[in-house]
Structure 1
């Protein structure tokens, strides 16, 4: 698969990967490192997340779509929302509005819950992850940092900056069970794993 754009964990043995230049999602075995199943998408996609037997993808024009793992059935989610990356928790979706520096939280039906925009704190957001409390982790590619946004969107905190070896961070993931946060840099390809502690 050329140019992997996003990745998400399906279970302890499987990850799913997506490319913005191919119209499919690949399931990859962590043990063998090989793809073993393909799910076709209706268009090229960027963002990808997995929840309760469903993939949620950001299609080429930013339309969020739900793809059911069992039968590959696809349906649109909140047609008014245009997003590049997406994360989910229950009925809530967290995404960055296409071509903006705005992070949004909304329900699957499109009802907006909150928005966050602060270019001094977050510039050119990339991948998004969410913890079990609804706090949102975002990689700032141009601002060279990593920001946590509170579950209500009202507060934020910079967790990592350029001095913390963040070099144009792109991909991130959060493991709810282990409380581990993974950050991958675009510029140097380095990957870091951090333990998240809640005060």
Structure 2
């Protein structure tokens, strides 16, 4: 049994191909993908035959040794001619093996949705009270509990219910604040621009709980709960470890809006009309430019790694594929988009919020936010 287990362990070390498969699906060309899948198919066939051979033999049969002690031991020892006998009971294997060769081979490759399948559907819009219709929205967030937070140009943070109804004012700043991001639990981070600070706000207690100093202007912010990423428009990017508050400044080309997803930093540059993807350590991965992306001012990512860009000059929302090779306009003026600026995505609920401008019954315009299912 020990020999068999050792042999199977050696086999396992030779067939663990998940990381190679993941890299292949992300970076390989179609031709490379074809030959790569041929090699994977060959390996899985060999492994399947090995497993079937093991199961068809007696490798997994359970051997139980049973000792029967002679009752003659209870009599005089001189009459004992045998201590008993050993009997081997063999039980058939109960191991259930599912190789997936007969009817599931076609499911070898599992792909996520393609870019053409991304079609947002309007769910609702935030209901802005009449006395608040002078709002100028800089940032809008969807919280994990489904509520919404808006950062107004009047340096005020506002909360709305899941249904989009105004609840309360959270906090007001004396410094100019430009962007916001959800961090963790009840904490939201706000950039304080020329003050070179980030403010961490407890949105349940309506209080600023901490301020973090930076050596540069703070314009954009993104977080994954353990790391906070701050950028200066057209300049530096700084990552912050939220546990020990240590800083790392990254050398990048530049950025105006920023997002963070699965260890990668995504940026859009307003003047260059480009989208950049970097490793969390600052190494560039890809750059994308397309005529549909004109003056990008907002960026967010969904659960599959698609990059959503607010193209202010084209008055549209554009999606870029995770590999940075293709794009598609998913919302435009035809969909009621007029003055988009801020964008956010809740990856768990697959909801997207985009700030927009609408008109009331009298024809006067004011800002709100549209909520979409993606």
For normalisation by structure 2, the TM-score amounts to 0.49
Q: Which moved more, 1:149-158 or 1:159-168?
A: 159-168
> 1:102 touches 1:116 (CA, 8 Å); kept in 2?
yes
User: Number of residue pairs matched?
Assistant: 194
Structure 1, unmatched stretches of 5+, are none
| Aligned residue in 2 for 1:38 | 211
Compute the RMSD of aligned alpha carbons: 2.0
- Tell me how far apart the structure 2 counterparts of residues 20 and 189 of structure 1 sit (CA, whole Å): 23
Task: Determine which of 340, 343, 346 is the counterpart of 1:169.
Answer: 340
- Tell me how far apart the structure 2 counterparts of residues 52 and 154 of structure 1 sit (CA, whole Å): 29
Structure 2, unmatched stretches of 5+, are 1-172, 358-364
Task: Determine which of 322, 331, 354 is the counterpart of 1:183.
Answer: 354
> 1:180 touches 1:194 (CA, 8 Å); kept in 2?
yes
- Comparing both structures, which one devotes a greater share of its residues to helix? 2
Task: Determine which of 25, 47, 51 is the counterpart of 2:220.
Answer: 47
Structure of larger gyration radius: 2
| Aligned residue in 2 for 1:5 | 178
Q: How does 1:1-199 map to 2 (within 5 A)?
A: 1=173, 2-59=175-232, 61-77=234-250, 79-97=251-269, 99-119=271-291, 121-185=292-356, 188-196=366-374
> 2:233 touches 2:254 (CA, 8 Å); kept in 1?
no
- Comparing both structures, which one devotes a greater share of its residues to strand? 1
User: 1:188: Cα distance to partner?
Assistant: 3.9
For normalisation by structure 1, the TM-score amounts to 0.88
- Tell me how far apart the structure 2 counterparts of residues 54 and 132 of structure 1 sit (CA, whole Å): 18
* SS state at 2:341 partner: strand
Q: CA 1:165 to 1:94, structure 2 compared with 1: closer, same or farther past 3 Å? A: same
- Tell me how far apart the structure 2 counterparts of residues 64 and 132 of structure 1 sit (CA, whole Å): 24
* SS state at 1:62 partner: coil
